[in-house]
Chain A
Amino acid sequence: MSADQWATLSNTSFSIAVGLYSLAVIAFCAELAFGGVRQADPVRELVGAGGPVERPRPPQDLAPPPESDRGRRYGALAMGLTVLGALAHLTVLVARAAGTDRWPWGNMYEFATASVLVAVVAYLSFAFRAPSLRHIGVFVMGPAVLCMVLVGLFLYAEAGPVVASLRSAWLAVHVSSVVLAMGLFFTSGIASVMYLVRTRYDARVLAGDAPASRVVHRLPLAATLDRTAHRIAICAFPIWTFGVIAGAIWAESAWGRFWGWDPKETWAFIAWVVYAAYLHARATAGWRGRPAAWVNVIGLVVMIFNLLYVNLVSTGLHSYAGVGN
């Protein structure tokens, strides 16, 4: 196939991925909205058998209600659509790589596309292992679709060669690890947001002024969300650390110094500090639970700011990673 054909395949796959993800979001919504068993339903399954073990076990009325067959069908459909979308998403990058004969993260468009793919795959792997996490699908895939649309509209860059300074083996090492860590942190942040929503809801239910929110009630248990967020962050933190170190090694050979407080470097440092704070907060009395989750959400905001503001608005040595013309 010629470079042009690869480029066309890549662009078509992008549209297909966005389409499939959007359908998946609709299916996830349907699962949340119509998947519940009515309260009067006599079938009361014993929650916990075979499922993830929760400690301490919350009162029965906080546990997500069992899912109806219809809900399960919607859920399976949504997961199937997400998997297909992720395959199309992968094709976007593979075709880019094939058409340009380089790693497919040479500019913002490719970088952001790859990061979203990591977030989706991270979500999928957790959702397959712990089915209760499937219910946050709409909150992961919704932002993912939004990101993809914004990336396609504002960051799109034609397939092409990269500038001389990006032609280094470190592109593969540095950018791959950063993409991986970003995608994981993104998913972790979403899980923490859902945890904050869920704990607030739980507190109100326990206080007696329970709002009739079937959607929130169907979210995974607070402890599950918190643990998921923490475990993903634990995976992502060493990867991010490695990405920053690899970036420093590359900067030493490309720019003459390993660290120079370039805006991107500064924000990478800030993000590292915030996530270090998150991991510490999880282990500090008085900070466990909601305060720690807030730190993770701040980390998410820092990540997004780092991606958008630093690349698109400020000027620095990472500017060539900006929007293609």
Chain B
Amino acid sequence: MTTTAPPRPAAPAGPPSPPSLGRRVAARLLRWWRQLTAMRTALMLLFLLALAAIPGSLLPQRSLSQSKVTEYFRDHPSLAPVLDRLYLFDVFGSPWFSAVYLLLFISLIGCIVPRAVEYARSVVAAPPPAPRHLRRLPEHTELRTTLDGDAALDVVEEELRVRRFRVVRRTRAHGPELSAEKGHLKEAGNLLFHVSLLAILVALAGGKMFGYEGSIVLTEGDGFCNSFQNYDTYSAGPLVQGSDLGDLCVDLRSFQATYEDDLTAASFSADIDYGPAGSATRDTTISVNHPLRTDGDRVYVTGHGFSPCFTVTLPDGTEPATDECRPFLPTETRTMSSEGVLKLPDLGPGQTDQLAVAGFFAPTGVVQGGLLTSIDPRPLSPQVAVQVFRGYLGLDSGIPQSVYQIDQTQVERGRLVQVGSANLTAGESFTLDDGTRVTFTGVREFAAIQVSHDPGQVYVLIASIGIMIGSLAMLLLSRERVFARAGPGAGGAGTVLSIGSLTRGSGETGPRFQALTDDLQDALTTRAADGARRTTTPATSPDGAEHAEPEAPPR
């Protein structure tokens, strides 16, 4: 078979007229598309993605900790606003990070669509014809046999079919030849891997759009229902309506923290009742690594601490606070020493009659030189060092303030004055100058509870499994092609089989090819011997020694 070049189109007579605008734009777009979908562009975008993620780990991120960002702003007042304008505190939601990964995914689509088409074609198509120069293939050898060309190729075909190759025989200008192929799963794995990457992005985006997360600090005995106004903090995707939240209420019955002998935390578990509003009656225990998974919502215990309880008795006998417990924030997790405040804004008619019981809580307290410290995270001997402030708390000043601290600016302005302090053990009380009594009645535990909803995460998991399977198939399988061509032997006697193989993928191809050609040589010898016996013509046995080392790479 010879190929002739197609006739060249006649050269245009005059200078070519400039292409129309539409055509130019289309050509330009096509060129951009080709550039974007080229592998080297994809590589560059991969590097860009890696680079773009780095600031997200080096600078504080709003998504992780708003307080650290605030702290950074305080420490670097001139630099922080500049960084903020570059979205460096929201790297993973920033336009430039999104731009990089969206470009990468467009490039990915441009890569996998043609590949998928080609793959579909190659699955049904016959293996390609043998290249003209088989000895240029990475693996090549020649086998000699007394069989004629077709019979020799029959042997090769059998041997390859046993090895699950797809085989096709052709006769072309250089003689009868054979092409064989296997390992389509490698390319299928490659496609699965890349399609799964796309799927994971879609699932992630969907989860972000329709997901939400709320957290709340709950003292033993308290409860809450799943709605945004009840949470201490929450975040929700842009497509979440308040009414979309699952009907779920949770009551914290009790919380237990257990410790090893060396005070390593062994377990945190919360006994809760849960269910739809009005009938939160199903009880369960949630703990670290074991959240509650209801229909759509997941309930986690993410932290714990202590809520000291106080009773405040005014001189006239009224009790504005009776066994009121407030969560104190742990300042040190090893000993669980904590700080917090009980604010009482409604003691009297005036704005200056407000009271705050600020305290330092020690679950196992030791007083040394008048100073209270904690030596154990377990509530073995709870003590609290309280400072009582009277005056204006500033709760209605319009500036939000922490529920764990008094507003220091009111203290600085002299509007909130310390009127007493004491170290109290459970049950102890002390009296202020005006006769008000503050009693430390005891302590309860609190649990930080988080409710999460992410409709995308199941699909992310499925896509991850696709990535896993795809990468295994893509990296560990290989696509093999084997070609063979029969030619006349030296001096016209017998046949010379020229065999070459081309492997795409990893793995040591040499030994496998060696094994194949060894088996082929054996099969050819056996077949030739059989044929010789049947035709009873004197057979010249193939010279084995000559082919003992078929490996003769070109120099």
**Chain A, 26-80, CB within 8 A of any chain B CB:** 52-53, 55-57
Residue B316 lies at the interface, judged by CB distance under 8 Å to chain A: no
Question: By the criterion CB–CB under 8 Å, are B288 and A165 in contact?
Answer: yes
When distances are taken between beta carbons in the complex, the residues of chain A under 8 Å from B268 are 164
Question: By the criterion CB–CB under 8 Å, are A249 and B43 in contact?
Answer: no
**Chain A, 256-279, CB within 8 A of any chain B CB:** 256-263, 266-267, 269-270, 273-274, 276-277, 279
Q: Kindly provide the distance from the CB of B508 to the nearest chain A CB, expressed in whole angstroms.
A: 8
Question: By the criterion CB–CB under 8 Å, are A231 and B506 in contact?
Answer: yes
Number of A-B contacts (CB under 8 A): 134
Residue A142 lies at the interface, judged by CB distance under 8 Å to chain B: no
Q: Kindly provide the distance from the CB of A63 to the nearest chain B CB, expressed in whole angstroms.
A: 13
Question: By the criterion CB–CB under 8 Å, are B64 and A262 in contact?
Answer: yes
Could you tell me the distance between the alpha carbons of A257 and B63 in the complex, rounded to whole angstroms?
Answer: 12
Could you tell me the distance between the alpha carbons of A168 and B464 in the complex, rounded to whole angstroms?
Answer: 21
Q: Which residue of the partner chain, among B39, B260, B468, B551, contacts A53 with CB atoms under 8 Å?
A: B551
Could you tell me the distance between the alpha carbons of A256 and B452 in the complex, rounded to whole angstroms?
Answer: 7
Question: By the criterion CB–CB under 8 Å, are A234 and B506 in contact?
Answer: yes
Question: By the criterion CB–CB under 8 Å, are B50 and A277 in contact?
Answer: yes
Residue of chain B at shortest CB distance from A267 = B57
Question: By the criterion CB–CB under 8 Å, are A249 and B475 in contact?
Answer: no
Could you tell me the distance between the alpha carbons of A253 and B492 in the complex, rounded to whole angstroms?
Answer: 75
Residue of chain B at shortest CB distance from A274 = B50
Q: Which of B382-390, B439-447, B453-461 contacts A (4 or more CB under 8 A)?
A: B453-461
Question: By the criterion CB–CB under 8 Å, are A238 and B50 in contact?
Answer: no
Q: Kindly provide the distance from the CB of A272 to the nearest chain B CB, expressed in whole angstroms.
A: 9
- Known A-B contacts A53-B553, A164-B288, A256-B298; the reply to A238 vs B452 at CB < 8 A is no
Could you tell me the distance between the alpha carbons of A270 and B100 in the complex, rounded to whole angstroms?
Answer: 14
When distances are taken between beta carbons in the complex, the residues of chain B under 8 Å from A260 are 63-64
Question: By the criterion CB–CB under 8 Å, are A280 and B46 in contact?
Answer: yes
Residue B54 lies at the interface, judged by CB distance under 8 Å to chain A: yes
Question: By the criterion CB–CB under 8 Å, are B457 and A253 in contact?
Answer: no
**Chain A, 200-256, CB within 8 A of any chain B CB:** 230-231, 234, 237-238, 241-242, 245, 248-250, 252-256
Question: By the criterion CB–CB under 8 Å, are A238 and B475 in contact?
Answer: yes
Question: By the criterion CB–CB under 8 Å, are A273 and B49 in contact?
Answer: yes
**Number of chain B interface residues as a range:** 35 or more
Question: By the criterion CB–CB under 8 Å, are A261 and B64 in contact?
Answer: yes
Residue A314 lies at the interface, judged by CB distance under 8 Å to chain B: yes
When distances are taken between beta carbons in the complex, the residues of chain B under 8 Å from A19 are none
Q: Which residue of the partner chain, among B265, B291, B464, contacts A164 with CB atoms under 8 Å?
A: B265
Question: By the criterion CB–CB under 8 Å, are B468 and A261 in contact?
Answer: no
Residue B476 lies at the interface, judged by CB distance under 8 Å to chain A: yes
Q: Which of A8-16, A118-126, A155-163 contacts B (4 or more CB under 8 A)?
A: A155-163
Q: What sequence of 0s and 1s flags, for each residue 144-159 of chain A, a beta carbon within 8 Å of any chain B beta carbon? A: 0000000000000000
Residue of chain B at shortest CB distance from A249 = B461
Could you tell me the distance between the alpha carbons of A160 and B264 in the complex, rounded to whole angstroms?
Answer: 9
Question: By the criterion CB–CB under 8 Å, are A261 and B92 in contact?
Answer: yes
Question: By the criterion CB–CB under 8 Å, are A57 and B553 in contact?
Answer: yes
Question: By the criterion CB–CB under 8 Å, are B300 and A168 in contact?
Answer: no
Residue of chain A at shortest CB distance from B452 = A256
Residue B307 lies at the interface, judged by CB distance under 8 Å to chain A: no
Could you tell me the distance between the alpha carbons of A305 and B357 in the complex, rounded to whole angstroms?
Answer: 47
Could you tell me the distance between the alpha carbons of A241 and B474 in the complex, rounded to whole angstroms?
Answer: 13
Question: By the criterion CB–CB under 8 Å, are A266 and B42 in contact?
Answer: no
Could you tell me the distance between the alpha carbons of A57 and B53 in the complex, rounded to whole angstroms?
Answer: 42
Residue B526 lies at the interface, judged by CB distance under 8 Å to chain A: no
When distances are taken between beta carbons in the complex, the residues of chain B under 8 Å from A160 are 260, 262, 264
**Chain B, 13-71, CB within 8 A of any chain A CB:** 39-40, 42-43, 46-47, 49-50, 53-54, 56-58, 61, 63-64
Could you tell me the distance between the alpha carbons of A255 and B289 in the complex, rounded to whole angstroms?
Answer: 8
Q: What sequence of 0s and 1s flags, for each residue 112-140 of chain A, a beta carbon within 8 Å of any chain B beta carbon? A: 00000000000000000000000000000
Could you tell me the distance between the alpha carbons of A260 and B256 in the complex, rounded to whole angstroms?
Answer: 27
Question: By the criterion CB–CB under 8 Å, are A261 and B300 in contact?
Answer: no
Q: Kindly provide the distance from the CB of A236 to the nearest chain B CB, expressed in whole angstroms.
A: 10
Question: By the criterion CB–CB under 8 Å, are A257 and B288 in contact?
Answer: no
Q: Which residue of the partner chain, among B260, B264, B302, contacts A256 with CB atoms under 8 Å?
A: B302
Residue A94 lies at the interface, judged by CB distance under 8 Å to chain B: no
Q: Which residue of the partner chain, among A161, A231, A263, A277, contacts B47 with CB atoms under 8 Å?
A: A277
Residue of chain B at shortest CB distance from A230 = B506
When distances are taken between beta carbons in the complex, the residues of chain B under 8 Å from A281 are 43
Residue B1 lies at the interface, judged by CB distance under 8 Å to chain A: no
Residue of chain B at shortest CB distance from A49 = B549
3 closest A-B pairs (Cβ-Cβ)? A266-B57, A277-B46, A263-B57
Sample 6 A-B pairs with CB under 8 A, ordered by A number.
A55-B138, A237-B475, A241-B467, A256-B291, A259-B204, A302-B50
Known contacts A164-B265, A259-B204, A284-B43; 19 additional CB pairs below 8 A are A55-B553, A57-B555, A160-B262, A160-B264, A231-B507, A234-B475, A238-B475, A242-B468, A248-B464, A249-B461, A254-B289, A257-B454, A258-B457, A261-B91, A270-B53, A274-B46, A280-B46, A284-B39, A302-B50
Binding site for B on A (CB under 8 A): 52-53, 55-57, 160-165, 167-168, 170, 230-231, 234, 237-238, 241-242, 245, 248-250, 252-263, 266-267, 269-270, 273-274, 276-277, 279-281, 283-284, 286-287, 302, 310, 314, 316
